[in-house]
């Protein structure tokens, strides 16, 4: 935990001014232990099932039924369930913005500032595999992490881009039903658990962040359809970046209104009096304070764009969609699917070199954009054969494959598999005995990767870049 003495003096002075009688309670929150959280991935498992299965001591997060606190002494990132994508480690207050976005199956949704992926994966779970989710991150290294987390959670309908908001706005004008802007900010809500955030803070940085937020919101509104929903959030306490950003946005775009939502217990209303010319409806924005909830702090606002679009008008025009491969061009995959899967994949087959992807239906052309993941990575097209990807394994359930091998989540064998080791055919429980070739390897029934059975040995196809020297 960060010592109060490490907090910037100018920040403390401003907080004392803003909070008044609450200031002491806020400062005292720095003495309290940080409570880490995780969110259950409902694409793979329901919260009650996970609670019964998990080894963790879990306490529910009040504002989402999928979120839980766990003890700081526990290490959920060292368990096979983490690599199976059953949960995402996420600060509890950061679970709130996507909760209020309430994305639905079949919609077009954009997470504009998406890395490292907590909110994107939460949105994907809401969409239940239906519709199109575009996850964007401007910084290449962070975009890579975002793509990896999308893969780990087994998400099939997500596209990951590495673009500026302005470039996306040129391509996706009026395209999305819902947009989340979890904007880059001065990070005051991270001070309790992150000493480095304190060192990076300055009044000049607050000003710079506010200007950048205005620019990002300008692009976001351009991409939202009439009647669409925009959720804006930050992990800072600065009025200039919070109520101020929304006030300036409404000045520029009067066709937006703040939605009046039910606030969970402990959430505080926004403060119009903290910004010059603050309009009264800013009380509909929400503040999460560490001295009022068990979380580090957040700000969020739910905005709606005037107008509406009929379902017919909203549907993509066929000629505007991305052009897929011919059946002949992915025939090797179809042979793999016929031999090893019990389902038929639906979507648009596209190729990036020798890599085969399944793009979500309704995806527009991506030519000219920096794309890290144009959909579900199916695998590699090789001469006369197809090799399935790790992403495909994590997106599949045991009942969706012909052959699988289940290992106990607390066994030496599953940790050995995650380390890259092979194992004998007589290890594990098989879905279908006697099957040769590709097997989905599972931990207590949840997919973690591929193995290939030959000559009585299960060859390990867990990606080398993910292998660690785990011990059971």
Interval 120-144 mean pLDDT: 97
Interval 87-95 mean pLDDT: 97
**pLDDT at 321 (0 to 100):** 59
Q: Tell whether 383 and 403 lie within a shared domain.
A: no
Alpha-carbon span 403 to 351, nearest angstrom: 26
Alpha-carbon span 227 to 236, nearest angstrom: 28
Q: Total domain count for the chain?
A: 2
Q: Tell whether 335 and 351 lie within a shared domain.
A: yes
**pLDDT at 317 (0 to 100):** 36
Residue 149, both tokens: 């987390």
In a domain, 337, yes or no: yes
Q: Tell whether 414 and 445 lie within a shared domain.
A: yes
Reported pTM: 0.95
Interval 273-278 mean pLDDT: 97
In a domain, 1, yes or no: no
* Closest-CA residue to 185 (of 233, 141, 236): 236
Q: Tell whether 401 and 444 lie within a shared domain.
A: yes
- Percent of the chain clearing pLDDT 70 (strictly above): 96
**pLDDT at 318 (0 to 100):** 35
Active-site entry in 209, 235, 405, 472: 235
**pLDDT at 407 (0 to 100):** 97
Res. 315: pLDDT tops 50: no
In a domain, 24, yes or no: no
In a domain, 5, yes or no: no
Q: Tell whether 412 and 454 lie within a shared domain.
A: yes
In a domain, 358, yes or no: yes
Q: Tell whether 435 and 457 lie within a shared domain.
A: yes
pLDDT digits (tens, 9 = 90+) for 347-381: 999 998 999 999 998 888 888 999 999 999 999 99
Give me the residue label for tokens 């709130």: 96
Interval 33-62 mean pLDDT: 95
Res. 309: pLDDT tops 70: no
Residue 118, both tokens: 């907590």
In a domain, 256, yes or no: no
CB 413 within 8 A of CB 428: yes
CATH of the domain at 408: 2.30.130.60
In a domain, 343, yes or no: yes
Residue 281, both tokens: 């409806």
Domain of 434 in residue numbering reads as: 396-466
Q: Tell whether 382 and 410 lie within a shared domain.
A: no
CB 39 within 8 A of CB 88: yes
In a domain, 7, yes or no: no
Q: Tell whether 387 and 414 lie within a shared domain.
A: no
Q: Tell whether 353 and 323 lie within a shared domain.
A: yes
CB within 8 Å of 122: residues ≥ 6 apart: 39, 66, 88, 90, 95, 98, 99
Phi and psi (nearest 5°) for 98?
-65, -30
Question: Would you call 235 a catalytic residue per the annotation?
Answer: yes
């Amino acid at each position: 935990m960060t010592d109060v003495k490490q907090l910037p003096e100018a920040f403390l002075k401003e907080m004392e001014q803003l909070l008044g009688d609450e200031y002491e309670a806020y400062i005292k929150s720095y003495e309290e232990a940080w409570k880490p959280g995780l969110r259950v991935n409902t694409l793979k498992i329901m919260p009650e099932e996970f609670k019964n299965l998990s080894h963790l001591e879990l306490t529910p997060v009040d504002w989402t039924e999928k979120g839980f606190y766990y003890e700081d002494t526990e290490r959920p990132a060292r368990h096979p369930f983490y690599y199976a994508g059953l949960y995402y480690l996420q600060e509890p207050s950061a679970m709130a913005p996507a909760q209020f976005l309430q994305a639905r199956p079949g919609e077009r949704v954009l997470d504009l500032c998406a890395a490292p992926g907590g909110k994107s994966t939460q949105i994907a779970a809401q969409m239940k595999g239906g519709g199109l989710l575009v996850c964007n991150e401007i910084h290449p290294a962070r975009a890579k992490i975002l793509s990896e987390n999308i893969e780990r959670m087994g998400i099939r309908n997500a596209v990951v881009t590495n673009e500026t908001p302005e470039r996306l706005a040129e391509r996706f004008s009026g395209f999305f039903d819902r947009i989340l802007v979890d904007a880059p900010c001065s990070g005051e809500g991270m001070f309790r658990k992150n000493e480095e955030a304190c060192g990076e803070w300055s009044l000049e940085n607050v000003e710079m962040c506010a200007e950048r937020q205005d620019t990002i919101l300008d692009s976001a509104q351009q991409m939202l359809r009439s009647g669409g929903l925009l959720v804006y959030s930050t992990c800072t306490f600065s009025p200039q970046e919070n109520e101020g950003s929304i006030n300036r946005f409404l000045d520029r775009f009067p066709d937006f209104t703040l939605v009046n939502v039910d606030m969970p217990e402990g959430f505080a209303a926004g403060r119009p009096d903290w910004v010059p010319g603050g309009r009264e409806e800013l009380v509909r924005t929400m503040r999460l304070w560490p001295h009022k909830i068990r979380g580090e702090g957040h700000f969020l606002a739910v905005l709606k764009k005037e107008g509406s679009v009929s379902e017919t008008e909203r549907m993509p025009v066929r000629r505007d969609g991305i052009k897929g491969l011919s059946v002949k061009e992915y025939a090797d995959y179809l042979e793999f699917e016929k031999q090893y899967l019990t389902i038929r994949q639906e979507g648009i087959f596209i190729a990036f070199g020798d890599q085969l992807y399944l793009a979500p239906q309704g995806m527009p052309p991506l030519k000219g954009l920096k794309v890290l993941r144009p959909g579900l990575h199916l695998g590699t097209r090789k001469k006369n054969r197809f090799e399935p990807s790790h992403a495909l394994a994590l997106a599949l359930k045991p009942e969706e494959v012909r052959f699988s091998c289940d290992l106990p989540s607390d066994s030496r064998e599953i940790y050995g598999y995650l380390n890259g080791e092979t194992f004998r055919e007589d290890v594990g429980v098989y879905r279908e005995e006697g099957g040769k070739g590709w097997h989905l390897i599972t931990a207590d029934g949840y997919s973690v990767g591929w193995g290939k059975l030959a000559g009585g040995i299960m060859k390990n196809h867990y990606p080398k870049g993910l292998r660690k020297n785990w011990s059971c």
